């Protein structure tokens, strides 16, 4: 057990290395569909909608793959089914990539102990292909549904009520809070609560003008800036301090810049999953300040989306873009300050894992 926990960073890096192609392929396709749709939203019909669907499918597999290959790194192939299915459940209950990391580690621990169960020799051949995947999936899936899922629902309800109770009296403070929430899990429950709050505000209209109020537009501008700061910040950091990122992360950084421009915050997830203690705080600080700056300087956004793609429809578009640059720069500076240079041998770990995976298939 202790040996498993000591190798947590290596296990996370293995999961991230297998996840990155799904993030890049899915995120870029979704970004392209939004970019060419001519509006700050996912197209709902036609050829571009099909491309968006492919992209969303790729992003939807991101968390299950992360979870599955964290478990695979811990306990080999018996961990794949519990890990991937646990990751799918994490997506279903809205736990995001943090839930995926948890389900992967949980699957690895559960399978580790299941492999220690002594059974008659006549049943030993069934352990890796039947008994362990079945029992492991049931235990991990049950814990994700019944133990993890319900608190997440209560958390989302409590956060929504808290935001509503805050009101809009001090928009800058509200912008700091919403920006931090958006960047904390990049698509998870906390992010969804903040984005849903902003979208609901835009959906309300001033009874005199029939248009969204300036307060609602300001809140959505702050959220839109916060959405794109993590991928833009991580992309900039990987360009200006390449010695602190693996070769895979540097490639992901280029894709993250594109996804950030069109408001897809998932582009930063490979960085956050690989090094959460440094990257997530950097994302939170940059997004919070960028969000508050957009509100303070008077930006407004009528579109429930983020990134530079909404700049043409934003109020004070230059201010809006400036706020994204401020937030992304702070995130990039912070993560470069916190991260240590990458050890030269680190990129080889994922290659070794891949070779071991292929070797096992040959043995089978």
pLDDT at 344 over 90: no
To the nearest 10°, the Cα dihedral for 273, 347, 233, 86? -20
Backbone angles phi, psi at 173, to 5 degrees: -65, -40
CB within 8 Å of 113: residues ≥ 6 apart: none
The pLDDT value recorded for residue 254 is 93
pLDDT-wise least confident of 7-16, 42-51, 89-98, 346-355: 346-355
CA distance 208 to 8: 57
The structure tokens 């916190």 sit at: 338
CA distance 183 to 181: 6
Q: Which two tokens stand for residue 49?
A: 């909608």
pTM comes to: 0.83
CB atoms within 10 A of CB 292: 26
- DSSP per-residue letters across 134-184: HHHHHHHHHIIIIIIIHHHHHHHHHHHHHHHHHTTSSHHHHHHHHHHHHHH
CB within 8 Å of 322: residues ≥ 6 apart: 293, 297
Q: Which two tokens stand for residue 278?
A: 């440094």
279 touches 271 (CB < 8 A): yes
Phi-psi domain of 210 (left: phi exceeds 0; alpha: psi -120 through 50; beta: other): left
Contacts of residues 199-204 at CB distance under 8 Å and 24 or more positions apart, as own/partner, are 199/304, 202/301, 202/302, 202/303, 202/304
The pLDDT value recorded for residue 2 is 67
Q: Which two tokens stand for residue 56?
A: 């969303």
Task: Report, as an integer, the average pLDDT of 91-118.
Answer: 90
Beta bridge partners of 300: 315
Q: For residue range 138-169, list pLDDT tens digits in order.
A: 999 999 988 888 888 788 888 888 888 887 77
CB within 8 Å of 153: residues ≥ 6 apart: 93
CA distance 54 to 19: 16
pLDDT at 41 over 90: no
Q: For residue range 165-182, list pLDDT tens digits in order.
A: 887 778 999 999 999 999
Q: Which two tokens stand for residue 229?
A: 């700061």
Q: Which DSSP letter does residue 130 get?
A: I
């Amino acid at each position: 057990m202790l040996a498993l926990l000591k190798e947590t960073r290596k296990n996370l890096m293995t999961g991230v290395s297998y996840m990155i192609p799904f993030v890049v392929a899915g995120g870029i396709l979704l970004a392209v569909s939004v970019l060419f749709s001519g509006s700050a939203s996912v197209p709902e019909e036609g050829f571009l909608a099909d491309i968006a669907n492919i992209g969303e499918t790729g992003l939807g597999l991101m968390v299950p793959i992360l979870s599955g290959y964290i478990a695979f790194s811990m306990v080999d192939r018996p961990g794949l089914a519990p890990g991937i299915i646990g990751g799918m459940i994490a997506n279903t209950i809205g736990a995001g990539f943090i839930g995926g990391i948890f389900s992967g580690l949980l699957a690895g621990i559960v399978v580790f102990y299941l492999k220690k169960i002594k059974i008659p020799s006549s049943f030993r051949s069934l352990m890796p292909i039947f008994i362990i995947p079945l029992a492991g999936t049931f235990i991990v899936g049950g814990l994700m549904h019944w133990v993890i899922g319900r608190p997440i629902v209560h958390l989302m309800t409590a956060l929504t009520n808290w935001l509503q109770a805050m009101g809009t009296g001090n928009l800058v403070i509200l912008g700091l809070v919403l920006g931090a929430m958006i960047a904390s899990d990049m698509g998870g429950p906390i992010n969804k609560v903040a984005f849903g709050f902003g979208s609901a505000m835009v959906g309300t209209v001033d009874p005199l003008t029939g248009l969204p109020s300036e307060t609602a537009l300001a809140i959505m501008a702050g959220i839109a800036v916060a959405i794109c700061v993590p991928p833009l910040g991580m992309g900039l950091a990987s360009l200006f301090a390449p010695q602190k990122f693996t070769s895979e992360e540097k490639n992901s950084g280029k894709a993250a810049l594109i996804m950030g421009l069109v408001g897809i915050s998932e582009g930063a997830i490979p960085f956050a999953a690989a090094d959460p203690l440094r990257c997530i705080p950097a994302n939170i600080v940059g997004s919070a300040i960028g969000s508050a700056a957009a509100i303070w300087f008077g930006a407004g956004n009528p579109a429930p989306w983020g990134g530079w793609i909404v700049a043409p429809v934003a109020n004070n578009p230059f201010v809006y873009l400036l706020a994204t640059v401020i937030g992304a720069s702070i995130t990039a500076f912070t993560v470069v300050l916190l991260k240590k240079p990458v050890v030269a041998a680190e990129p080889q770990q994922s290659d070794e894992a891949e070779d071991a995976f292929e070797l096992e298939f040959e043995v089978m």
